[in-house]
Structure 1
Amino acid sequence: MSQPVPASSSASGPATTVSRAHAPTSAELLDFVRGAAADPVLIASLPLDPEGRTWVRLGGPGGSEAWLIGWPPGTGTGWHDHAESVGAFATAVGELTEHSLAVRLPADGWKTLELREDVDRGRKLGAGQGRAFGRHHVHEVLNASAAHAVSVHAYYPPLPLIRRFSRTGAVLRLEQVERPEDWQ
């Protein structure tokens, strides 16, 4: 397993510490995020803000994109997907809640979808717990607890875009498409 290390920016782009010999699977990404989440020195290196989420980019396995993220109580991502990327995340400190949809969304050509009644899934992930997911996985992650949480996330290929959604009952609406330059 690759060691997670903070990545730095330079004129040639983000630093990585791994080879790009093969595309990592979601299972390999899950192993990576679990290992990184268990590293107390790495976790302690994240500056925490009581008001908003904080993050540090990490070097991930096989050219993947990885992030160490701090979650104050009450913060979350909103509904989104990671397009063509597979991914994984693990909670290092505290507890996160994931709500997801057991449905594959069309890649393009829609603004509003009506969801079936049986597509909602939910799980709580405490310290040391993680999960992997495939392409087009629609979810929201939140810290519904009263304490700060910290997690590690990895995606391959590096995120080409994130689609953000709003949800009212059974209606899911595409609201925004973000590209890497929007969040880096």
Structure 2
Amino acid sequence: MSSSLDTPAPAASVSTPFSSKAVDAAPGAASAPKSVPTQAELLAFVRRTAADSELVATLPLDPEGRTWIRLDGPAGSEAWIIAWPPGTGTGWHDHGGSYGAFATAGGALQEDSLAARLPTEGWKTLELAEGVDRERTLTKGDARAFGSHHVHEVRNESDSEHAVSVHAYYPPLPLMRRYSRTGAVLRLEQVERPQEWQ
């Protein structure tokens, strides 16, 4: 395994659809992946990184916008530490076919997700069946992995406390689909590609 599994090395930050403001970090050593990381390896990575209080503390907290640092993830995965000011969130989205994991390093995050596999092409509006909604709260130290068809939104519902989380994706995000939701109706609003956030 690469050394980035043991001590994540911050890499140059770039825009991401999860974030508002980037914090520059020292470039990490680039290495070719030896194998494809498993969900379990991504989950272990985000847990270990979230527990690294010294690394997490390098991310400044902005009261008005999200900040982040991009990291070298295991085996060529894309990874981020993200700070969430009170009341911020992602909106409904997917990860363009990438699987991944995230862990909460501080505060609490609310995740709403769909327990249904959506078609990726050929639709603009879907009516969701009853019973597909899932909710969970992830507090400091909590983590979860997700598959390549995961659709969710993540929010910091606190009105006074920042949340901080660590995310890892493989393959690195090829695109993201953004959705709006009204009741049971999910509507595809936008497809973002990496050049739009890098």
Give the TM-score band, short-chain normalised: over 0.9
Contact 2:9 2:28 in 1 (8 A): no
SS of the residue aligned with 1:182? helix
1:170 aligns with 2:174: no
Aligned residue in 2 for 1:8: 12
Q: CA deviation at 1:5?
A: 1.4
Which sections of structure 2, spanning at least 5 residues, go unmatched?
14-26
Q: How many positions carry a matched residue from both structures?
A: 180
1:107 aligns with 2:120: yes
SS of the residue aligned with 1:66? strand
1:93 aligns with 2:97: no
Contact 1:2 1:17 in 2 (8 A): no
Q: CA deviation at 1:2?
A: 3.8
- Of the candidates 17, 36, 55, which is equivalent to residue 68 of structure 2? 55
Q: Percent identity at matched positions?
A: 70
SS of the residue aligned with 1:75? coil
Which sections of structure 1, spanning at least 5 residues, go unmatched?
none
SS of the residue aligned with 1:52? coil
Contact 2:112 2:154 in 1 (8 A): yes
Q: Distance in 1 between matches of 2:126 and 2:184?
A: 8
SS of the residue aligned with 2:102? strand
Q: Distance in 2 between matches of 1:55 and 1:102?
A: 28
Contact 1:88 1:155 in 2 (8 A): yes
Q: Distance in 2 between matches of 1:109 and 1:163?
A: 13
Aligned residue in 1 for 2:54: 41
With normalisation by structure 1, the TM-score equals: 0.94
Contact 1:2 1:60 in 2 (8 A): no
Q: Distance in 2 between matches of 1:16 and 1:64?
A: 14
SS of the residue aligned with 1:27? helix
- After TM superposition, where is structure 1 displaced by more than 4 Å over at least 4 residues in a row? 14-19
SS of the residue aligned with 2:161? coil
Q: CA deviation at 1:136?
A: 1.6
1:155 aligns with 2:169: yes
Contact 1:99 1:139 in 2 (8 A): yes
Q: Distance in 2 between matches of 1:61 and 1:72?
A: 27
- Of the candidates 177, 181, 184, which is equivalent to residue 195 of structure 2? 181
Q: Distance in 2 between matches of 1:17 and 1:143?
A: 32
Aligned residue in 1 for 2:87: 74
Aligned residue in 2 for 1:143: 156
With normalisation by structure 2, the TM-score equals: 0.87
